[in-house]
Amino acid sequence: MKRWHIVLFLAPAVLIYSVFSALPLLDTLRLGFYATNDAGASHFSGLSNYLTILTDPAWSSAFWNAMCNNFKFFLIHLLIQNPIGLILATFLSLKGLKFARQYRTFIFLPTLLSVVIIGFIWQLILSPLWGVSESMMNFVGLGAYFQPWLGEEGSALITLALISVWQFVGIPMMLIYAALLAVPEDIVEAAYVEGASSWRIFWEIKLPLILPTLGLVTILTYVGNFNAFDLIYSVKGAIAGPNYSTDILGTLFYRTFFGYQSQIGSPTMGAAVATLMFLVILCGVGAYFYFVQRKLTRYEL
């Protein structure tokens, strides 16, 4: 065999990926088909876990509530985080912008912090007792509009999503920024010479060229949001109050798998929830590749 080096070079990645990622995933899929009795012994039970989650009202209402919240969480990211990331990246890539590097660093900085710290800081900022937000709003005459946003059913999820947007906006910004830098100078210059405005150059030259990156950012956001858990857990705990209004699939999974307070954890039921999460992500990614990615035109530059 002449191409033995391919096998050699692939081996470490394939080994590590299979042992720590693919096998556990397959085992989770398997575990979802089992159930445990009082003594902790597990036995094969077919689709019963899935039937419980999807048809038993006590489970299905929690599941659909989490799913619905998860979609809201994702939509807020999609509609706010990514456009802001695009705008920031466009400004940063403008020629002659002073302190561009400093801005870039500052905007990217929160991404490096632990989610637990972010959650804690924002909880303090928004606290109705000690937070600075109410006095800052008073300062500009908006004090009357202050609400305990993290404690209200209507606003808690949106607030958490916005905190997450604030933290992670640096990532789409950097990816799009890199794509914008890769747009060849001569095309842009040629357009200038032809008399195109910056606005038109952006819409008709730069945007089509970075569309594959925008697609990538969307799908990364989707996968990230449907796996999200840490921010909600650190701010609202695993029962994701008030009245489960911030419950997403990640917290539902945690409660089911590990248990929370009096709820005794069930690894098999948890595996079923994890499998459903996996399927949701798989369908989303699959649909994206089938309907969007295939049709994207990549320009040879």
**Least distance (Å) between residue 58 CB and other proteins:** 5
**Least distance (Å) between residue 262 CB and other proteins:** 3
Instruction: Please give the backbone phi and psi of residue 36, each rounded to the nearest 5 degrees, phi first.
Output: -115, 150
Strand partners, 34: 44
Cα–Cα separations (whole angstroms), residue 69 to 17, 244, 250, 252, 257: 31, 9, 11, 11, 20
**Least distance (Å) between residue 252 CB and other proteins:** 12
Q: Which is nearer to other proteins, 116 or 296 (CB)?
A: 116
Euclidean distance between CA atoms 110 and 27, whole angstroms: 35
**Least distance (Å) between residue 278 CB and other proteins:** 21
Amino acid at site 156: A
Taking alpha carbons only, the member of 240, 182, 239 closest to residue 213 is 182
Residues that bind other proteins (CB under 8 A): 38-40, 58-59, 123, 126-130, 147-153, 236-239, 241-244, 255, 258-265
Burial class (CB in 10 A: 0-12, 13-18, 19+), 269: buried
Residue pair 82/267 in contact by the 8 Å Cβ criterion: no
Euclidean distance between CA atoms 143 and 94, whole angstroms: 37
Q: Which is nearer to other proteins, 103 or 166 (CB)?
A: 166
Cα–Cα separations (whole angstroms), residue 221 to 35, 106, 127, 186: 33, 21, 28, 32
Q: Which is nearer to other proteins, 59 or 222 (CB)?
A: 59
Q: Which is nearer to other proteins, 212 or 237 (CB)?
A: 237
Q: Which is nearer to other proteins, 129 or 140 (CB)?
A: 129
**Least distance (Å) between residue 128 CB and other proteins:** 2
Euclidean distance between CA atoms 187 and 181, whole angstroms: 12
**Least distance (Å) between residue 300 CB and other proteins:** 52
